[in-house]
Structure 1
């Protein structure tokens, strides 16, 4: 019986070790965390974003444009990124994948770094905001393609 318990204990330790090494998001500490790119304090909850490396290192940003600018530098290897996350304008308490979000470029919604980019949790939410504020709705891939022309 003791050998079975020892065997199960080893399996449990192995499973715990595997799950504890998984990269995971960390809630942004608004008013405390600094943007990795521009070094400004992150204060606006509707615009925070985050990268998590495969080793679990978390990089926080005060805006979508700082996240993209950081991705376009040589500061981080894209192959080392486990998670790329943004907060939604309508649901700022939750981080969500950049690929699952939609983005509105509207001159009536100023973002912290002045590029007027705002993330939304769905295409429908982004289209509703477009009806109210005007602008252009994009998915992540389109945003990356058009980013330099938005500057």
Structure 2
């Protein structure tokens, strides 16, 4: 009986400690997932946006505007939002640290022209 209790305690502590770490964005490959708002395949990773809720549910979007509409329509409170760096699509930036611009020089998947950059200097050539 004592051994079973020890195993249960050990297992519980392992699960709790493994889930206490920093939450990071998932790396996707092109076409692997569909947008949770518009159901388009996510093929242009420069616009990929991820949301994670406080309950741990992840949502993936093909454009920043899809993520914004999803949050407003579902009235969810995201724990974290990551946007892809337009100039380096394999790099995710926390939305609160990103420079997000809207321009007609960039064609995003949904046509809103929203793109995220790591710095103001990176965004300057794309501004109207």
Taking the aligned partners of 2:89 and 2:122, their CA distance within structure 1 comes to 13
- In structure 2, how many angstroms separate the alpha carbons of the residues matched to 1:56 and 1:89? 26
1:1-151 equivalence runs, <5 A: 14=13, 17-22=16-21, 23-73=23-73, 75-78=74-77, 81-127=78-124, 129-130=125-126, 134-135=127-128
Q: Distance in 2 between matches of 1:106 and 1:18?
A: 44
Structure 2, unpaired ranges of 5+? 1-5
Q: What stretches of structure 1 of length at least 5 have no aligned partner?
A: 1-5, 136-151
Q: Check whether the contact 1:35–1:62 (CA below 8 A) recurs between aligned residues.
A: yes
* Residue 144 of structure 1: aligned partner: none
Count of aligned pairs:
120
Q: CA deviation at 1:19?
A: 3.4
Q: CA RMSD in A?
A: 2.2
State the SS of the aligned residue for 1:51. Answer: strand
Superposition TM-score, scaled by structure 1 size: 0.70
Farther off after superposition, 42-51 or 98-107: 98-107
Determine which structure has the larger strand proportion and give its number. 2
Shift of 1:107: 0.8
Q: Summarize deviations over 1:69-91 as a string: whole Å, max 9, x none.
A: 11111x2521xx22111001111
Distance 1:115 1:84 in 2: 18
SS at match of 2:86: coil
Residue 126 of structure 1, CA deviation: 1.2
SS in 2 for 1:69: helix
